[in-house]
Structure formats: C-alpha cells, structure tokens
Structure 1
C-alpha cells in the first residue's frame, strides 16, 4: 500500500523546498514545479480529471501521458445527468466514487485539468468545491493544468493506474452550497445574498442559453461577473494578485453573502474558488444546478426575450 504523510508533515516538507519551488502553504493553487518537488516523500493524491481521447485514437488523454502517480478521475464522475449536469451527485454515489479513487479526508489532494482554457479551470474548481464539501482537505488545483506541467518539461508516464480503495464516507456540507430553495428565498427577500452570474454577458442578457436550459435569461436581481475575468494572459492560469484587485474593485467584501451561478455550476465554480479560496471571503456559495436547473423548474427569470417569454407563458398557461 502506498504510504503518505499527514497534512502537517506535508506542510513541513513544502517549507523545506527550495524558494523557487515553494508556495506559502498547500493550496488552494499549486505550481507545477512545487508539485514535482513535493511528489517524493510527500505523495499527495493526484486526481487527473481530464476527459476525452487522443484525436484519432481509442487511447484516453490520461493513458497517453499523465503526471507520475496520478489517478484518472474523469470530470463526469462529479457531474449530474445530461438533463441537469450541474446537479449534485448523491452522497451514496459520491462515496462510491471517492472510495474507488482512494480519496481520504486528510490526504493532500491535487486536481489536474488540461489547462487549455478557462472552462478547464472551471471543471477543476467544481471538483475542488465537491471535495471540500465532502470533507477532504487540504486541496489544491494545479495552476495552468497539464499544459503547464508539460511546458515545464516535467516527467510524465503512460498507461492506466489502479488506485487503492479507501473507506471514506461522504457527508456533504451545505456551508458552501446554495439550493434552489435558497435562491427563491433570496429573490423573495427572505434571505440575504447577492446573486452573481459567472457567464459571459450574452447569457446574462438573454441572448444565449445552454442547450439543456428551457429558456434564456438570468436569475432575478442578479448581476454578472464573467468567470474569465480572473485570469491573466495564460488561458487557464489564475493569478491571486489579479483576484485580490478585482474583488476589491467590484465591491466583493468580507461579510458579503455571495451566490455564484452559471449554466451548470462549472464557470460559477471559478467565481466561487476565486472569491472564497483566493480572496478569502467567508460566505461564498455555489448554486450547482444553476440556470439549467432553475429555468427547467419554471421559476421566474430576468432578461428573458419577449418572444421566448410569450411562448413560455402559452406553454405554462400563464398568458
């Protein structure tokens, strides 16, 4: 069985690394060279969430090349059904998934995405949020993803790996969760909260929608802050200094109750990660079902185009 160090020992090992390979602590972001230096002796659990296959091949991207010791944990393991992809995975199913991957509550865990664009980062942020809500800590996302690892000419290995199952049992925390009932209460004025749409502006304005959503539009009383604004020049590398500056400039402050949403809880996870984990705002929540779940439930929406609104009213008998 693979041995690993507890979180305190892991932090001590990181502190002993050369300055060029250090971060102040494990997570919420970890750089490629820091992770490479930490693999020997520390042995963090590395979850490679990349889906898909090599073009023109039956070989998965993971099998074609991954960080040594990483386990394949395709993103769809952490997603809901096709009609509502953002829905939470039930606790019993999530327990099975995490046990099969060898996830334990106290083992340092790194999430690896491809790093091709900001949506890739969003998938890692959604998995991070899911694991944190499941009681797993400490956690980190590989900044820049697999692309950053390969750009640094760090080692890769090929082929599948077999994890050692764990005995974790998931009890999902609602500390960072907003439900549809919570959104209804915020809209009605029964709960405090500011609704932040992470989608590009055309979605917020009702000029675009997710294929699985019944209608275009946004949550009532929401404003938008596009998830891609947190990133610098690199497509999937998030810069904490940019996060701190933008959070302050846009009025996101400690003491605010912020609820992040998008289409299916993926772009929204980036906003949640930036505001909660990097800016350090304590009461930031993710609405996982987001607009697909909300729109398909027939709830009231803002910025629905008049033709769509009229059609919806006829279908639902509200005209």
Structure 2
C-alpha cells in the first residue's frame, strides 16, 4: 500500500478539528435555544426601555382582569402638546395573555374550602403552559399599570412563579400604561401562543405561611404586616368573606396607598430608599422575618414583593389564606368592635 505523506495526515487532522468545532458550536446554539435565552433580568423591576431592548428574548406575560381590553385600541387626548392616555387598551407586541381569575383557585384546608389560593404544582404548571410560557427564558410580568391593585396583581403572579422555583423574573414598572407613555408600539392582536413548556418545581415552603405559622408568629411577637387599606386594618370596614372586622393581634399596617405612586400616567413602585422612610413612619422593620396578609392573599403579595424583592429581605412569607381563612377558622382579631 502506498504511504501517505505526513502533510496529508496533518491536513486531514485539521479538517476533522474544524468539523468537530463547527458541530460543537451548532450544538451550543441549539442548546441555547432549547434551554434558555441567556438573558438575566437586572432586578425585580424593569423599565419599558429595558423590555423594548430585550423583548424577543423574554416571556412577556400580560396579566389582567379585563381580558377584552387586550385587543382594544387605547385612546389618547392631547393638551398643550402633551399626549395623555384617556382609554386603556392594547398590549406589548408579542405578549402572552393571562387571565388573573385563573391565577388563584379553591383548596381544601382542614376540611374547609378556602377560595383564591395558590394552585397546586401540577395545576399552576398547566396554567403557565396553556398561555405559552417557555421554560428557560426570563419572564417579565406586565399588568395594566393604571392602579396600585394592578401592581399587586403582577406581584401575585411573580410570587406564584417564584414559589414554584422560577427566579428569573421581573415586573414591568408601570405596566402597559408606562409602555404606552414611553411611546413604544402597541398591539391589539389576539393572543396566539405556541404551546408552553414552563416547568413548576417543588414549592418553596419558605415563601408562604399557613394559619399555624401565623398563630405562632403572633404568639411570639414576630412581625406581621397587614397589606390592606387602613379602614380594614382598624375594623371600620370588612369584606363580606371576612367574618370579623379588624386585624391579627400585633400586626402593623402597610396599606396600598403608600406602596405605589402615580408618575407619568402609570402607577410605579417606590425606590428602596423611599420605602425605608415609609417603613420608619409605619413602624415596620424591613429586615425582620415577616408574614404578610390581607383579605385573600392578593394585596399581601404586593407587600411581600416590596419587602422580599425590593428591600431584599429573604425572610418574608405570604399568608395565602389571609383574613378569609383566619376568620373562617374563628381565630381572634383586634378591631373597634
């Protein structure tokens, strides 16, 4: 058999090397597309400018109660050259639509049906997949942004996803209203999501509390934070589902009125420094282990988001059943009556 020259072997080796390198690069690209975009959110809040820059690399998860407004065109008025949102509608192009009514469900607790609770791991995973949330991508949660309650709605979804192991999350500060105010394109197309593959992991027990946890915390003088408006806290008002007016003994109030501020036509979270000042006035220690609650766990999620995510206090949990579950169990409250 004729002998090949050494140079021929070297040439073939180089070809094999480059072929292997190209295969490795292709595999890495496929892996990146399958397992993640490589983008990490810069913090628990993002601006419209950040979202506009990274729009194609994240799940844009639009959560709202009025789902019909998703395909409704917004209207504006112009006065002295300034354009102002007059009628809310539309969404960030490419957004996935999540009906807030589906985010919470009924659960049986000690033989009692408690409504508006966190769904089970399997049910929440199915919900996220049904709206098209893709695993391995950051998720930016977008509410309407026209009221403080909208921010709490976004916080509830954020908390729920975090309970089930997703940590690459952010809320669009100011929601869709801020996006519109920034002048970015708006869509009225119906949501047509591809099948999602988001994975719910085992629940993080540190992020939520039950009635036993709350009773123990109250008995030990640990910090409880009531996230309802002041009239509900002191017992002047109550929701029909809450069987007794007032608050859990020892709780401090952190009402919605001081959790957000209106700026440029949309509701925004405060800065960390401003929250620190607010907490001093309220007598809330933002560094202590805390359990937040409200009537049904909605507003409590907003207070949790501020304390846990913005103030970076890892020891904060949400009492999901809140005053609804507490009073259904006929536990004591402190109020005017």
1:36 match: 52
2:60 match: 46
Please give the alpha-carbon distance, in whole angstroms, between the structure 1 residues aligned to 2:245 and 2:149.
20
What does residue range 46-125 of structure 1 map to in structure 2 within 5 Å?
46-53=60-67, 60-64=68-72, 65-81=90-106, 84-104=114-134, 106-125=136-155
- Unmatched segments (≥5 aa) in structure 2: 1-29, 73-89, 108-112
2:311 match: 279
Give SS of 2:180's match.
helix
1:148 matches 2:156: no
1:308 match: none
The structure having more radius of gyration, on CA atoms, is 2
Please give the alpha-carbon distance, in whole angstroms, between the structure 1 residues aligned to 2:205 and 2:140.
22
Contact 1:105 1:137 in 2 (8 A): no
Please give the alpha-carbon distance, in whole angstroms, between the structure 1 residues aligned to 2:48 and 2:227.
27
1:214 match: 243
Q: Which moved more, 1:271-280 or 1:212-221?
A: 212-221
Q: What TM-score results when the alignment is normalised by the length of structure 1?
A: 0.80
1:204 matches 2:233: yes
RMSD between aligned alpha carbons? 2.4
1:56 match: none
Contact 2:286 2:307 in 1 (8 A): no
Number of residues of Structure 1 aligned to a counterpart in Structure 2: 280
Alignment counterpart, residue 224 of structure 1, candidates 240, 250, 253:
253
1:132 match: 162
Contact 2:142 2:154 in 1 (8 A): yes
2:21 match: none
After superposition, give the CA deviation of every residue in 1:291-310 in whole Å (9 maximum; x if it has no partner).
111111211111151xxxxx
The alpha carbon displacement at 1:205 in A equals 0.9
